[in-house]
Structure 1
């Protein structure tokens, strides 16, 4: 059994719908050998990363940066995971009220330092909230979980 960790900051009803869509996609009925663990960034830590086979991160764009909660997750996890999780398959999504550029750059910088392996281009849900964001997040979760299930990751 593979483990997919979803660490997502979901402070509003819309961001909660996005996180739940990622989880729903990852838990698709055709995916059999993947355990999905969902945690808020302030509840997750190095042990969760060390015990997963892939990770999906989710954050809001806050003042052109990732959420403080996701930054705290990275602050607590970076050094304990630095040498032990190189090559960890990951991707992420950003709920961006503007363009998501600063948030994307910050996550890229940290995960490059960790030497994690980006397996899917980040999903940046820009501008006014649209229902299609939920389907995009569902597909993101399904893609990662199906790749784990098929032994591609």
Structure 2
């Protein structure tokens, strides 16, 4: 029997867009009931070093705030970083970014942190642009398009399959 693997999805969301994206990735990763992959979806405030150490792969999901990851996701990384350094080398990761206009700043910040942890990217950052540009639109609850959610779901499904097959 194949040992069970764990995919950890850590997210933060203020206006629900990133949560929808993370949930879609979780749904995709959990789609096969016979998969040897257990999926854990945790809000960044609930995740820490023990969850990182207990996982075989990671999806980090964040809104882009001022061209960076959210403060709550940054707090997760700050609380976990040194405790897991050199204990997760080579493990796979992917990132999801819910952005108003660009998203590349947040994606680069996750990439830099993942590089420090010596994680291996398994996909390009999946950035969903909401085009929210006014204070009202930025603060308003988001509705992520079905197409974008399908891309998130597909990423989660492929990631779980890759873990199950030992591809990463």
TM over 0.5: yes
In structure 1, distance between residues paired with 2:37 and 2:57: 10
Query: SS where residue 59 of structure 1 aligns?
Result: strand
Counterpart selection for 2:46 from 43, 47, 50: 43
Counterpart selection for 1:8 from 11, 14, 18: 11
Q: How many residues align?
A: 153
In structure 1, distance between residues paired with 2:76 and 2:51: 11
Q: TM-score scaled by structure 2?
A: 0.86
Query: SS where residue 51 of structure 2 aligns?
Result: helix
Deviations 1:51-99, CA, capped at 9 Å, x for gaps: 1110111000011110111100110111111111111110111001111
In structure 2, distance between residues paired with 1:98 and 1:44: 28
In structure 1, distance between residues paired with 2:102 and 2:126: 12
In structure 2, distance between residues paired with 1:14 and 1:66: 14
Counterpart check, 1:148 vs 2:163: yes
Query: SS where residue 92 of structure 1 aligns?
Result: strand
Counterpart selection for 1:19 from 2, 18, 22: 22
Query: SS where residue 44 of structure 2 aligns?
Result: coil
Q: What is residue 74 of structure 2 aligned with on the other side?
A: 71
CA contact (8 A) 1:9 1:70 kept: yes
Counterpart selection for 1:94 from 93, 97, 101: 97
The two structures, once aligned, show a CA RMSD in angstroms of 1.3
Structure 2: segments with no counterpart, 5+ residues: 132-143
CA contact (8 A) 1:10 1:19 kept: no
Q: What is residue 136 of structure 2 aligned with on the other side?
A: none
CA contact (8 A) 1:31 1:146 kept: no
Rg larger in 1 or in 2?
2
Counterpart selection for 2:129 from 102, 126, 141: 126
Offset, 1:123: 0.5
Q: TM-score scaled by structure 1?
A: 0.94
